[in-house]
Structure 1
């Protein structure tokens, strides 16, 4: 899961394109499941958006993290368009 604020005005065409492209690109990676795109509604933090996804195993996460589509998205879009973010990686505690 990652929550973030874009350099674009919330709700702008540029922001919506970033979110849509993120969904398209990241869900094309085979190990990604349950991908979600979120708009922040809580007054308790000031991030605007969130992405979440699930992985069946650490190996699936590692595959995603190193996948050329993810690496390219980070370099060509994320680093240029995201103002700030907080990444949260959870593992189910059994």
Structure 2
């Protein structure tokens, strides 16, 4: 009887794992709330005082407020990675943010949103230079 019970439990675990593995291809690359064709808004910031940890921290905190804009599907914030130095890599910036939008209309609405405008007004004194790359996925 004990052997049969163990066999049944093992079979249930196997079926559960098989179901998860069968669903994996469908889930790979799926980001809830993101459309298949997306607009990515990548912004690079060079601080007026590049060595100031306080300025970098303040800018990161300000960037986090932008997640509250309803059109922003995903927001990633980071600093230069310590990757192998190559001629094609520019890691001279101090902070970067990457946003995902469902459409160019959503990205346009984000630009005019009061939270975005308040961010620019409150934190623009920290940066010396900003470069933006917008792309639409194909």
Q: What is the aligned partner in structure 2 of residue 55 from structure 1? A: 101
Residues 79 and 95 of structure 2 are in contact (CA less than 8 Å); yes or no, is this contact kept in structure 1? yes
Q: What is the aligned partner in structure 2 of residue 88 from structure 1? A: 133
- 1:29 deviation in Å? 0.4
The answer to whether 1:77 aligns with 2:98 is no
Instruction: Say which of 16, 19, 24 aligns to 2:57.
Output: 16
Unaligned runs of 5+ in 2: 1-41
The answer to whether 1:26 aligns with 2:105 is no
What's the TM-score, normalizing by structure 2? 0.60
Q: What is the aligned partner in structure 1 of residue 75 from structure 2? A: 35
Q: Which has the larger radius of gyration?
A: 2
- 1:11 deviation in Å? 6.0
Highest RCO, 1 vs 2 (Cα 8 Å, sep ≥ 6): 1
Residues 47 and 55 of structure 2 are in contact (CA less than 8 Å); yes or no, is this contact kept in structure 1? no
Higher-helix-fraction structure: 2
Residues 56 and 95 of structure 2 are in contact (CA less than 8 Å); yes or no, is this contact kept in structure 1? no
Query: RMSD in angstroms over aligned alpha carbons?
Result: 1.6
CA deviations 1:15-72 (Å, max 9, x no partner) are 112202211x200101102101111125421112210100001121111110011112
Structure 1 residues 82 and 57: alpha-carbon distance in aligned structure 2, compared to 1, 3 A threshold: same
Q: Determine the C-alpha separation between the residues in 2 that align with 1:49 and 1:56.
A: 24
What's the TM-score, normalizing by structure 1? 0.84
Q: Structure 1 stretches (4+) deviating beyond 4 angstroms?
A: none
Q: Determine the C-alpha separation between the residues in 1 that align with 2:113 and 2:93.
A: 26
Q: Determine the C-alpha separation between the residues in 2 that align with 1:9 and 1:86.
A: 16
